[in-house]
Structure 1
Amino acid sequence: MRAPDWLTARPVAHRGLHDRARGVLENMPAAINAAIAGNFAIEVDIQLTADGEAMVHHDDDLGRLTEGTGSLLSLTAAELRRVAFKDTPERMMSVGELCDLVSGRVPLVIELKSHFDGDRKLASRLIDVLAAYRGPVAAMSFDPDQVLALRQLAPELPRGITAERRYDDSYWAKLNEAQRRPMEALRHGLRTQPHFVAYRVDDLPAPAPWIARNLFGCALLAWTVRTSEQRVRARQHADQMIFEGFVPEP
């Protein structure tokens, strides 16, 4: 079940090689181009729109980086392309536009953001777009149901689970126990059969990712590495890091 070697060959730039102080925002074209220039793999997030498009953006709602308010799920792709950002004149991309921009020059790791409602439209749209893409690409999600959808709809696409040791902070309060339990300790693994695990760096080492890596052959990425101490931890316990806030040495 191990991922291809290209997934761990180079550090992975978290949401592209962004630097808001310089007007280079996460998940935006300039951050993608900066990562390509540095020969780094790129991790991005995608969200489903009201009309079934997959847009490159992390947050469920507008407002942190953008002008305006509203959920991405309530807006069409055309409406989202018109949304102004606070620190850049760039506009939100679709996953197809992202693929055109990268054009196979570096690996892509695409995270499906989920509402944990069993909806497979985002996975289906991603797979439709990737059918015409010839570059190295993998997909992952925190949501085991999305990873299962990837396994069933595109079994040859390298797939991963994004995970951490506990799901007890405020971000996960929206999930009930039945939703949260399969995520804990990678209990879903035999069902989803991920090729790789992206695990919170501060939670390493931990039994579940160790077992996935050493007994089942999954590649292990550590997220999100920002400090020198986290980089040492990632080097000791993972195959590669997903990083931000600095530029790794060659």
Structure 2
Amino acid sequence: MTKLNFDRPIAHRGLHDRQAGVIENSRSAFDAAIAAGFAIECDLQLTSDGVPVIFHDDDRKRLQGVDGMVRNATVAEMTSTPLLGSSTGDCPQTFDDFLAQVAGRVLLQVELKTQTHENTARLAEAAAKAVKDYKGPLVFESFDPHLIAAVRRAGFPGQVGIITYSYDEPDEDGRLTSSQRFQLRHLIHAPWSRFDFISCYQKSLDLPAIRFFRAMGVPVTAWTIRTPAEAREVAGRADQLVFEGFDPDRV
């Protein structure tokens, strides 16, 4: 396996600062990350009309002040409604517009957000189609191993990663059976998901599966690092930081 080049810290949802009016996953946050020379992590959701947009949450309330789910909104509705608190009036971008903005200047670590069952293949296919002619460094990742397998089936030739953690948070994991949590915690899906890298919650880096795959040469990025102290804590146990709220170059 060719080792992934995670040579720069990865700005979580761009280099955002809500107090300064720079909102997560916005054009302004991505411009700031590019100017600072950081890689970018971002999130991909699917609209009701099948267009991938850069947006983290499943629903629109926190980020746009609108009731309703992203999957029930059209691309026109998503991209014409400003992000709350944006000093420049940034609206969510389509994936195509985001790719045109970045234009290969930094590595993109694009999270395919977990979808309803019928939308898993639709998002994977739309994402793979969007990057078919993209020339810059880009990887896809997801908490859902079915999504990274689906984006491979859709023709994406690049590298894909699994996002994971210990799966021991009842509020987050209540939808999963104990068997599913076990399989995800220990990456038992590896033979068929065929991930190339792992993005792991910082407090789960000592899981046996994470340590095993890293020892076998699989790169590991650690999320989400919010302080210099946390950066020092994960040093030597991960290959790169997914960060927000501080400058990792000063650590």
TM, length-normalised to structure 2: 0.93
The one-character-per-residue Cα deviations of 1:12-57 (angstroms, maximum 9, x if unpaired) are 0000000000000000000000000000000000101101111100
Closer/same/farther in 2, CA of residues 155 and 178 from structure 1, 3 Å limit: farther
Structure 1 segment 1-250 matched on structure 2, within 5 A: 1-5=1-5, 8-88=6-86, 89-115=89-115, 117=117, 119-154=120-155, 156-177=157-178, 179-215=180-216, 217-249=217-249
TM-align CA RMSD:
1.6
Alignment partner of 1:170: what SS?
helix
- For structure 1, the 5+ residue unaligned runs are none
Q: How far 1:152 sits from its partner (Å)?
A: 2.5
Contact between 1:2 and 1:219, CA under 8 Å: does it hold in 2?
Answer: no
Deviating beyond 6 angstroms after TM superposition, the runs of 4 or more aligned structure 1 residues are none
Contact between 1:17 and 1:35, CA under 8 Å: does it hold in 2?
Answer: yes
Q: How far 1:75 sits from its partner (Å)?
A: 0.7
Task: Quote the Cα distance in structure 2 between the aligned partners of 1:149 and 1:85.
Answer: 30
Q: How far 1:83 sits from its partner (Å)?
A: 1.6
Task: Quote the Cα distance in structure 2 between the aligned partners of 1:83 and 1:173.
Answer: 32
Alignment partner of 1:30: what SS?
helix
Task: Quote the Cα distance in structure 2 between the aligned partners of 1:163 and 1:21.
Answer: 30
Contact between 1:234 and 1:240, CA under 8 Å: does it hold in 2?
Answer: no
| Count of residue correspondences | 247
Q: How far 1:212 sits from its partner (Å)?
A: 1.1
Closer/same/farther in 2, CA of residues 247 and 187 from structure 1, 3 Å limit: same
Instruction: Give the residue type in structure 1 aligned to 2:47.
Output: T
Contact between 1:2 and 1:196, CA under 8 Å: does it hold in 2?
Answer: no
Which structure has more relative contact order (CA 8 Å, sep 6+)? It is: 1
- For structure 2, the 5+ residue unaligned runs are none
Contact between 1:3 and 1:158, CA under 8 Å: does it hold in 2?
Answer: no
Contact between 1:202 and 1:230, CA under 8 Å: does it hold in 2?
Answer: no
Task: Quote the Cα distance in structure 2 between the aligned partners of 1:55 and 1:175.
Answer: 27
Q: How far 1:166 sits from its partner (Å)?
A: 2.0
Instruction: Give the residue type in structure 1 aligned to 2:113.
Output: K
Task: Quote the Cα distance in structure 2 between the aligned partners of 1:153 and 1:208.
Answer: 28
Q: How far 1:203 sits from its partner (Å)?
A: 1.6
Q: How far 1:168 sits from its partner (Å)?
A: 2.9
Q: How far 1:147 sits from its partner (Å)?
A: 1.3
Task: Quote the Cα distance in structure 1 between the aligned partners of 2:168 and 2:206.
Answer: 17
Closer/same/farther in 2, CA of residues 3 and 53 from structure 1, 3 Å limit: farther
